[in-house]
């Protein structure tokens, strides 16, 4: 790598996180955010993320990093993710994505560094067919790389205790299936001239998390760190890659975009002069003979200069202190010092003492996150009347569901789709349904709360008229104060009759929009182990093609039925399973063992194959 000798070196973080799902592992994302600030890695490669398609990138966002992820369909297990630093991700291209139900692989090309990064997760129970197929895809991708071959980094959790490192030889033991898979991995790495760099245990006494590269000199040192979030150690690799100044976009003190200092909503912006200044720049001459990174920095610098002339800046808060509490900073410094001591420890007794201290500090850090969250939550609720802006910003920050507004129905029953009209109508309906928050009333008697149930019933009716329904599992009341008799004696209920629990913290009460798009039918997935001929027949059968055709109809047509959504879906499924997909063959009668539909015939044939007998004609 070419660069100035005084430039800092890049770090890389990798490991098995054992669950990044935000609804159950909230502190893990906070832990990774702090780790990213301290280490500033070029990328973070994590395995076993347990994510699925319904988890938005915003819920697992790390500031100044862009995620590239692969997960399993409809299952909260497995999965890999690559967090690429923003100054590098601008020229990052995804090259490979594999998810076959057991093995997940993602590969990207960091063009600014000319590095191909491959992140892989293989579970211990992976089949030989699935893993070898995935390795074939990796091998083909490496073969198709341009010449000269870029630097390659392949990392991840491979779960191969059968391989002895650094020799790269197979140990005795293990099943023949696992031995064959380990051999397939070694063949791919040997063919690509990749060497494995991790030689210390990453989980108990085994080296399961591996780091391959075709440039051994790119790794200066590495360290493995224990953490309370996984039984795998996190690995921090200190590389020989130097940070290039041409790649580092200028940032402000908080590390965010340089354009955040401007108030783009101000009425004082001179838009005509701004547009004129941009058009007067000779961009072709300015960018002449420049490399892409320099062109990007030049573009940002020019735009910043123009914005400073015509756009006012935001009013900055006087309090610009870091949002990391002081006690947590002290714990983080202690943790860093202990990790350095752990590397230099020569006796097992000293290592055990340091490990015990590290475990204690990790527990204190986790408790610090919990205490800060509880403190912010209490502050938001206690000051809800005096400072509602803080309360709503707190709810927005920790909200898990992001839904769009509209379309809504007006008083005459017409659908309103225009954004401005939708906003006006929403405000009008909100004011008519909810009481005025600026008119506080002191409630002393539980009987006075009975009117609140009527307000809730009005809200339920409004929600139902707009193709929405409340998520009753998250429907909780926000109650605070010292009057315990009101909390204990008052009972409120959801639309479905479920009691709303009285919890002393805030939860979102928003509706979710499963039926807002109109009635739709869910298509069943194709069986993974069926022969190709059967899968082809199934994919073209009416049972699988019918829902697809129905969902393509306009919303007005799909909503014309008078029955409930669940009854409609079950009725349509029964209809699709009853009528034949093809004319009955010779010998088929109504008294045959099952209907003449392809799915029922496939199920019958599978049953006959399992029990070794059959009776009655089969159409397939």
Query: Rounded to an integer, what distance in angstroms lies between the CA atom of residue 281 and that of residue 302?
Result: 9
Q: Do the strands 9-16 and 41-47 form a parallel or antiparallel pair, or are they unpaired?
A: parallel
Same domain (yes/no): 488, 540? no
CATH number (domain holding residue 189): 3.60.10.10
* Single residue among 390, 412, 437 that ends a domain in this structure: 390
Q: What pLDDT is stored for residue 58 in this prediction?
A: 79
Cis peptide before 148 (omega within 30 of 0): yes
Q: Tell which residue, 163, 205, 209, 210, has the closest CA to residue 184.
A: 163
Same domain (yes/no): 215, 113? yes
Q: What is the pLDDT of residues 594-615, one digit of tens each?
A: 666 666 667 777 777 766 655 5
Query: Rounded to an integer, what distance in angstroms lies between the CA atom of residue 429 and that of residue 409?
Result: 10
Query: Rounded to an integer, what distance in angstroms lies between the CA atom of residue 109 and that of residue 88?
Result: 10
For residues 207 and 165, the answer to whether their CB atoms sit within 8 Å is: yes
Same domain (yes/no): 54, 164? yes
Q: How confident is the model at residue 236 (pLDDT cuts 50, 70, 90)?
A: very high
- Coil, strand, or helix at residue 154? strand
Same domain (yes/no): 276, 355? no
Domain assignment present for 470: yes
388-410 average pLDDT score: 63
Q: What is the pLDDT of residues 207-232, one digit of tens each?
A: 999 999 998 889 999 999 888 778 89
Query: Rounded to an integer, what distance in angstroms lies between the CA atom of residue 326 and that of residue 322?
Result: 9
Domain assignment present for 268: yes
Flag the least confident range among 500-514, 519-533, 572-586.
500-514
Measured CA angle at 411 (ends 410, 414), to 5 deg: 45
Query: Rounded to an integer, what distance in angstroms lies between the CA atom of residue 247 and that of residue 499?
Result: 56
Residues 6+ away with beta carbon under 8 Å from 1: 113, 240, 241, 242
Q: What is the pLDDT of residues 160-170, one digit of tens each?
A: 998 999 888 88
Candidate ranges 3-7, 403-407, 604-608; pick with highest mean pLDDT: 604-608
Q: What pLDDT is stored for residue 486 in this prediction?
A: 60
Q: How confident is the model at residue 576 (pLDDT cuts 50, 70, 90)?
A: low
Domain assignment present for 321: no
Q: What is the pLDDT of residues 308-340, one digit of tens each?
A: 888 888 765 544 445 678 888 888 888 888 888
Q: What pLDDT is stored for residue 11 in this prediction?
A: 93
Q: What pLDDT is stored for residue 117 in this prediction?
A: 96
Query: Rounded to an integer, what distance in angstroms lies between the CA atom of residue 225 and that of residue 32?
Result: 13
Q: Which tokens in the block code for residue 170?
A: 């197979």
Tell me the HSE value of 524 on the side-chain side, using a 13 A CA sphere.
18
Same domain (yes/no): 202, 343? no
Domain assignment present for 335: yes
Q: How confident is the model at residue 174 (pLDDT cuts 50, 70, 90)?
A: confident
**pLDDT: is 101 or 570 the higher one?**
101
Same domain (yes/no): 240, 143? yes
Same domain (yes/no): 176, 134? yes
Q: Tell which residue, 195, 198, 200, has the closest CA to residue 215.
A: 195
Q: What value does the mean pLDDT of the chain take?
A: 76
Domain assignment present for 318: no
Q: Which domain holds residue 182?
A: 9-245
46-53 average pLDDT score: 90
392-414 average pLDDT score: 64
Q: How confident is the model at residue 128 (pLDDT cuts 50, 70, 90)?
A: very high
Same domain (yes/no): 73, 191? yes
Domain assignment present for 385: yes
For residues 83 and 65, the answer to whether their CB atoms sit within 8 Å is: yes
Same domain (yes/no): 577, 499? no
For residues 252 and 258, the answer to whether their CB atoms sit within 8 Å is: yes
Contacts 24+ apart (CB under 8 A), 279-284: 281/306
Q: What pLDDT is stored for residue 515 in this prediction?
A: 43
Flag the least confident range among 73-77, 83-87, 97-101, 309-313.
73-77
Same domain (yes/no): 105, 46? yes
Give the residues across from 197 on adjacent strands.
Answer: none
* Single residue among 310, 335, 365 that ends a domain in this structure: 310
Give the residues across from 219 on adjacent strands.
Answer: 239
Q: What pLDDT is stored for residue 577 in this prediction?
A: 61
Helices 176-191 and 128-143 cross at an angle (nearest 10°) of 0
The alpha carbon torsion through 180, 181, 184, 186 (nearest 10 deg) reads -100
Domain assignment present for 398: no
- Coil, strand, or helix at residue 258? helix
Query: Rounded to an integer, what distance in angstroms lies between the CA atom of residue 387 and that of residue 241?
Result: 48
Same domain (yes/no): 160, 45? yes
Q: Tell which residue, 60, 67, 66, has the closest CA to residue 20.
A: 60
Q: Which tokens in the block code for residue 608?
A: 């006959």
Same domain (yes/no): 407, 274? no
Asked if residue 12 has pLDDT above 80, the reply is yes
* Single residue among 480, 512, 544 that ends a domain in this structure: 512
Domain assignment present for 125: yes
Q: Which tokens in the block code for residue 417?
A: 């789709």
Q: What is the pLDDT of residues 237-255, one digit of tens each?
A: 999 888 765 444 444 434 4
For residues 459 and 442, the answer to whether their CB atoms sit within 8 Å is: no
**pLDDT: is 399 or 196 the higher one?**
196
- Using CA atoms, how far residue 119 sits from 68, 157, 165, 211, in Å, is 10, 9, 19, 10
Total number of domains constituting the chain: 5
Other Cβ atoms less than 10 A from the Cβ of 457: the count is 12
């Amino acid at each position: 790598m070419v660069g100035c000798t005084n430039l800092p070196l890049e770090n890389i973080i990798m490991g098995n996180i054992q669950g990044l799902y935000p609804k159950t592992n909230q502190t893990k994302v906070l832990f990774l955010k702090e780790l990213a600030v301290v280490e500033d890695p070029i990328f973070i490669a994590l395995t076993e993320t347990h994510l699925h398609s319904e988890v938005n990138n915003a819920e697992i966002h790390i500031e100044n990093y862009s995620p590239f992820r692969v997960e399993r369909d409809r299952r909260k297990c497995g999965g890999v993710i690559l967090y690429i630093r923003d100054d590098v991700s601008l020229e990052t291209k995804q090259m490979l994505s594999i998810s076959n139900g057991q093995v997940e692989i993602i590969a990207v090309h960091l063009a600014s560094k000319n590095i191909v990064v491959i992140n892989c997760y293989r579970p211990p129970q992976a089949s030989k067919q699935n893993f070898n197929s995935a390795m074939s895809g990796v091998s083909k991708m490496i073969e198709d790389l341009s010449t000269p071959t870029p630097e390659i980094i392949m990392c991840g959790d491979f779960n191969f205790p059968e391989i002895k490192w650094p020799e790269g030889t197979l140990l005795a033991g293990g099943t023949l299936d696992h031995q064959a898979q380990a051999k397939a991995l070694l063949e791919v790495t040997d063919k690509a001239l990749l060497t494995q760099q991790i030689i210390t245990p990453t989980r108990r006494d085994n080296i399961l998390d591996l780091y391959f590269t075709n440039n051994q000199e790119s790794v200066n040192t590495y360290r493995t760190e224990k953490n309370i979030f996984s039984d795998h150690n996190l690995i921090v690799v200190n590389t020989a890659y130097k940070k290039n100044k041409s790649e580092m976009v200028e940032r402000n003190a908080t590390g965010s975009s340089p354009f955040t200092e401007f108030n783009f909503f101000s009425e004082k912006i001179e838009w005509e002069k701004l547009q004129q200044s941009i058009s007067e720049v000779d961009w072709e001459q300015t960018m002449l003979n420049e490399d892409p990174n320099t062109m990007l920095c030049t573009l940002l610098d020019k735009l910043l200069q123009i914005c400073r002339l015509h756009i006012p800046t935001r009013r900055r808060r006087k309090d610009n202190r870091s949002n990391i509490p002081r006690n947590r900073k002290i714990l983080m410094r202690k943790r860093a010092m202990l990790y350095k001591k752990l590397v230099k420890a020569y006796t097992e007794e000293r290592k055990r003492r340091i490990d015990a201290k590290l475990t204690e500090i990790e527990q204190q850090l986790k408790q610090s996150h919990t205490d800060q969250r509880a403190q912010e939550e209490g502050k938001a609720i206690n000051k809800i009347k005096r400072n509602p802006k803080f309360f709503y910003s707190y709810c927005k920050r920790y909200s898990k569901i992001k839904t769009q507004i509209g379309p809504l129905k007006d008083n005459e029953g017409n659908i309103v789709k225009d954004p401005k009209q939708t906003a006006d109508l929403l405000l009008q309906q909100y004011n008519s349904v909810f009481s005025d928050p600026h008119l506080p009333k002191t409630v002393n008697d539980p009987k006075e709360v009975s009117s609140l149930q009527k307000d809730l019933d009005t809200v339920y009716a409004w929600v139902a008229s707009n193709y929405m329904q409340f998520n009753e599992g998250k429907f909780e009341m926000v109650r605070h104060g010292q009057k315990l008799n009101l909390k204990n004696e008052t009972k409120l209920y959801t639309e479905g009759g479920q009691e709303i629990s009285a919890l002393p913290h805030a939860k979102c009460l928003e509706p979710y929009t499963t039926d807002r798009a109109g009635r739709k039918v869910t298509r069943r997935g194709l069986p993974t182990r069926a022969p190709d001929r059967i899968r082809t027949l199934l994919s073209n059968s009416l049972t699988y093609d019918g829902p697809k055709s129905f969902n393509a109809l306009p919303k007005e047509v799909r909503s014309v039925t008078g029955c409930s959504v669940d009854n409609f879906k079950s009725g349509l499924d029964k209809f699709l399973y009853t009528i034949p997909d093809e004319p009955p063959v010779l010998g088929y009668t109504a008294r045959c063992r099952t209907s003449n539909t392809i799915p029922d015939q496939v199920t019958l044939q599978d049953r006959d194959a399992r029990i070794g007998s059959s009776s009655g004609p089969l159409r397939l």
